[in-house]
Amino acid sequence: MLLSRDGVLAIGIVPPPSRTEARAHLRQAVREAAAQWQNLDIEAISVESTPGTPPRLLLAGRSVGLSFSHDEGLSLAAIGLYGPVGIDVMRVQDIADWFHLARDYLGPQVAQELAACPAAQRPLRLAQAWTVREAALKCAGLPLAEWDGTAPACCLQALPLPAPYVASLAY
């Protein structure tokens, strides 16, 4: 999967089962996609990551925004040529304690909206709201934390994915 707009490229792969292998495959896919997208030699592209900080993509020595997300069976990456990006993917599933999760991490308004929607639609809407929040936090360089009433300012876009996945892109 490739999606390109406004200096942002999103890619997705079906990863191997091991998380370590999935990370390596996604990093290689990012390098290959960026090389093709920017018409660069793949050797001029590297992915740098330090635990606790967002990963960085170096294109011919220039640092650009990069974000990763993994869920069982799907790995996504976003590249932002002009600034930070965030991406998040989530498998739609029924979560028993959805109200407390939504209230604690997505805020009281989202929790109330989810409570008001039909139960059959709740898993999808929860996953959509979660990926929006997580992608926005990644774009702002912030860790996942309980709701504090603030929302990072960024452009948000839902990514077209096959069921049972939903994903959001922030730039």
Tell me what pLDDT residue 2 has. 66
Same domain membership, residue 122 and residue 63? no
For residue 170, tell me if it sits in a domain: no
Same domain membership, residue 61 and residue 111? no
Residue position matching structure tokens 């792969």: 13
For residue 162, tell me if it sits in a domain: no
Same domain membership, residue 85 and residue 99? no
Same domain membership, residue 38 and residue 66? yes
Q: How many domains does the chain fold into?
A: 2
For residue 161, tell me if it sits in a domain: no
Tell me what pLDDT residue 115 has. 98
Tell me what pLDDT residue 51 has. 82
Given a cut of 50, the residues of the chain with pLDDT beneath it are: none
The domain in which residue 72 lies consists of 2-89
Residues 6+ apart with CB under 8 A from 117: 125
Domain final residue pick, 89, 107, 140: 89
Residues 6+ apart with CB under 8 A from 170: 85, 86, 87, 132, 135, 136, 138, 139, 152, 154, 155, 156, 157
Same domain membership, residue 111 and residue 84? no
Same domain membership, residue 99 and residue 113? yes
Same domain membership, residue 84 and residue 7? yes
Domain final residue pick, 35, 57, 89: 89
pTM for the model: 0.93
Same domain membership, residue 31 and residue 43? yes
Same domain membership, residue 6 and residue 83? yes
Same domain membership, residue 125 and residue 51? no
What does DSSP assign to residue 119?
Answer: T
Domain final residue pick, 54, 89, 124: 89
